[in-house]
Amino acid sequence: MHAETLQDIAMMHSDALLQRAAQGDQNAQGKLVQLWYKRIYNFGFKFFLDHDLAMEVAQKTFISMCRNLPSLQDLGKFKAWLYKIAMNYCREEIRRRQTNRSTPFDRVWNVESEQSPRWEMSRNRHDDPDRQFQRNEVADILHAALMAINEDQRAVVIMKEYEGLKFREIAEVLNISENTVKSRMYYGLESLKRILEKQNINKDTINYEL
Amino acid sequence: MSYKPDEGTLIAYLYGELEGSAKERVERYLADSEEARRELEALKEVRGIMGLVRDKEVIAPPLVIDSRARFFNLSSPLVRAVLAIAASLVILMVAGKLTGVQISASENEIRLTFGQPRSSAPDATPSLGVADVHDIIDARLADNNAALQSEWRKSQEAFANTMRETLKESSSRIDQLVMKAASASEKQISAYVSTLQAENLRMIKDHYKMTSEEQKQQLEQLLVDFAKYLQQQREDDLMILQARLNDLQQNTDMYRQETEQILASLISNASVPVIRN
C-alpha cells in the first residue's frame, strides 16, 4: 500500500499500538479501530455495494477483533487476520441474504431516481448536477462491473487492488493456495476487462482527472 | 521461445511481487512477445480504470467493548430464578415479623397465631351432672309450654272476638250497601227504560214517515212510467197500423191496375173475333 495519507503512515507504524492492544489496552484498541475502520468499511462496501451491510460487517469485525486480539499469536499477520474476520462476516451476510427472502426498498426502487431513499441519503444531491452526474456515472459503472464478477474473484480483486494485500496474505485470508489467488486475480481482471470493453470504457473515454 | 509464464506469474509480475530470476524470465519473455506485452498493457489499463474507484469516507462509530469476563451475569436465567426465590423469602420473613406470626407445635397440634398466644385457663366452676341438666331442661320446657299455652289461648280468644266483631260490622255494611244499590238501580232502570221507549217510538215514527214518503214517490214514479209506456205502446201500434194500411193501399192499387190491365187485354181480345172450331 502506498503511503498517501497520514492515516496510512500511522497504519504502517502501528506495531507498538498493536502490541498494547493485544495486551488488552482498551485505549490502544480504540485507536486501532479508528485506524482500520475506513479500510474494512470500504472493503465491505465494495464487496456488497451497500452502506448498511458494510457498516454491519465493519462493526462486527472490530468487535470480534477486540475480543480476540489477545489470542492472536503472530502480530505480523494482523492485517491478514483482520481481513479474514471481515471476509467471514461477509460470507455470513451472503448466506443470510440468500436465505432471507425480503428485498430492501432501495433495491426495489430505481436507485438513480429521485424517489429512491439512497438518493435522499446521498450528500451529492447538492452538488453541481453535471459534474455529479459524470462522477456518479463512472463510479457507478465501475462498481457495477465489480459487482458483476463472481464473489471469489471479487474478494481477491478488492483485497489486492484496493486493500493492497500481498498474494500471500490473501491466500491466508481465504485459506487457499497462493497460485489459486493469482489465477483468481487474473481471471477477475479479465472479466473486468470484458465488462468494461462491453461498456466501451477505456482510458481514452474516461477522464482520469475525476 | 519455449518459456511461457502462466497467469499467476504474469499477475505477480503485474503487481511487482516477482523477484530474481523469475522476474527476469518474464521480462525477457515480454520483450520477445508483442502479444504478451499487449495483454499485460490491457490488464494494466483495467487496473488503472478500476483504481478510479475512490474510498468512501466513513467515520468509525465508537465501539465500547467490555472485555472483562462476567462472573456474575444478572441476565442468566439461573441467577434470576435464585434471586427471585431469595427475594420472595425475604418478603415472607418481613411480613411475618410485622404481623407477629408465631408457629408453635405441641403434642398433637400445630398452632399458627398472630401476636402473643393466649393461654387458655380452664374453668374452675364444677361441672353439672347429666341428671341436673335434664332436670333443668325439663323444668324450662314445662315453663315454656305453660307460658306458650296460656299465651295461645289468650290470643285465640282475642282473635275470635275480633273476628266476630268484624264479621258483624262487615255484614251490616254489606246489607246497607246492597239496599242502597237496589233502590238506586230501580229508579235508574225505570228512567232508562222510559227514555229508551221514547227514543224507540221516535225512531219508528221517523222510519214510517220516511218509508211512506219513499213509497209514495216510488208509486208516483211507477205510475208515470207506466203511463209513458202505454203512450209509447199506443204510438207504436198506430205506426204499425198506418204501415199496414199503407201496404193495403198499395196492394189494392196494384190489384186495381192489374185488373185494369187484364180487363183491357180481355177487351182487346174480345173485340177480335175468334173462331175456333
- Which residues of B have a CB under 8 Å from any CB of A? 6-12, 15, 17, 42-43, 45-58, 60-63, 65, 67
What is the per-residue pLDDT across A73-107, written as a single tens digit (0 to 9) for each? 888 888 899 999 999 999 998 888 877 666 655 55
Least confident of A91-100, A189-198, B164-173, B236-245: A91-100
Q: Please state whether the predicted TM-score (pTM) of the whole model is above 0.95.
A: no
- Looking at residue B62, its pLDDT comes to 76
What is the per-residue pLDDT across A131-155, written as a single tens digit (0 to 9) for each? 656 666 777 888 888 888 888 999 9
Q: pLDDT at residue A53 above 80? A: yes
Q: pLDDT at residue A109 above 70? A: no
Q: Could you give the CA distance from residue B262 to residue B268 in angstroms, rounded to a whole number?
A: 10
- Please, are residues A46 and A158 in contact by the beta-carbon 8 Å criterion? yes
Contact partners, residue A53, CB within 8 Å, separation at least 6: A44, A93
Q: Could you give the CA distance from residue B107 to residue B117 in angstroms, rounded to a whole number?
A: 16
Q: Could you give the CA distance from residue A37 to residue A56 in angstroms, rounded to a whole number?
A: 11
- Looking at residue B107, its pLDDT comes to 79
| Band of residue A19 on the pLDDT scale cut at 50, 70, 90 | confident
The CATH number corresponding to A149-210 among 3.40.50.2300, 3.40.50.720, 1.10.10.10, 1.10.1240.10 equals: 1.10.10.10
Domain ranges of chain B: 7-49
Compare CB distances from B43 to A46, A51, A189 and report the shortest one's residue.
Answer: A189
What is the per-residue pLDDT across B177-233, written as a single tens digit (0 to 9) for each? 988 888 877 888 889 999 999 999 999 999 999 999 999 999 999 999 999 999 999
- Cα-based angle A17, A21, A27 (whole degrees, multiple of 5): 85
Min Cα–Cα distance to chain A from B40, Å: 11
pLDDT mean over A115-129: 56
Min Cα–Cα distance to chain A from B8, Å: 5
Domain ranges of chain A: 1-102, 149-210
Beta-carbon neighbour count of residue B75 at 10 Å? 7
Compare CB distances from A138 to B6, B52, B58 and report the shortest one's residue.
Answer: B52
Contact partners, residue B273, CB within 8 Å, separation at least 6: none
Compute the half-sphere exposure of residue B10: CA atoms within 13 Å on the CB side of its CA. 23
Query: What is chain B's mean pLDDT, rounded?
Result: 85
The three cell numbers of residue B260 are 185494369
What is the per-residue pLDDT across B36-83, written as a single tens digit (0 to 9) for each? 888 888 888 888 888 888 787 888 777 766 655 444 556 677 888 999
- Looking at residue A1, its pLDDT comes to 46
What is the per-residue pLDDT across A156-181, written as a single tens digit (0 to 9) for each? 999 998 888 999 999 999 999 999 99
* Beta strands in chain B, from DSSP E residues, in sequence order: 101-106, 109-114
Per DSSP, helices labelled H in chain A are 6-12, 15-22, 26-48, 51-68, 78-99, 105-108, 117-121, 129-148, 151-157, 167-174, 178-198
- Please, are residues B99 and B114 in contact by the beta-carbon 8 Å criterion? yes
Name every chain A residue with its beta carbon within 8 A of the beta carbon of B47.
161, 189
- Looking at residue B72, its pLDDT comes to 52
Better-predicted residue by pLDDT, B124 or A13? A13
Q: pLDDT at residue B128 above 60? A: yes
- Looking at residue B96, its pLDDT comes to 87
pLDDT mean over A111-123: 56
Q: pLDDT at residue B269 above 70? A: yes
What is the per-residue pLDDT across B163-179, written as a single tens digit (0 to 9) for each? 999 999 999 999 999 88
Q: Which fold has domain A1-102?
A: Rna Polymerase Sigma Factor; Chain: A (1.10.1740)
Topology alike, domains A1-102 and A149-210: no
| Band of residue B22 on the pLDDT scale cut at 50, 70, 90 | confident
Q: Which amino acid is at B118?
A: R
- Please, are residues A42 and A143 in contact by the beta-carbon 8 Å criterion? no
Q: Could you give the CA distance from residue A50 to residue A44 in angstroms, rounded to a whole number?
A: 8
Q: pLDDT at residue A122 above 50? A: yes
B8, A208: Cβ pair inside 8 Å? Answer: no
**From A194, which residue of chain B is nearest by alpha-carbon distance?**
B46
Query: What is chain A's mean pLDDT, rounded?
Result: 80
Cell 481481513 belongs to residue: A83
Q: What is the ipTM of this complex?
A: 0.73
Q: Could you give the CA distance from residue A185 to residue B151 in angstroms, rounded to a whole number?
A: 127
- Please, are residues A188 and A154 in contact by the beta-carbon 8 Å criterion? yes
pLDDT mean over A51-64: 90
Q: Could you give the CA distance from residue A187 to residue A194 in angstroms, rounded to a whole number?
A: 10
Q: pLDDT at residue A209 above 50? A: no
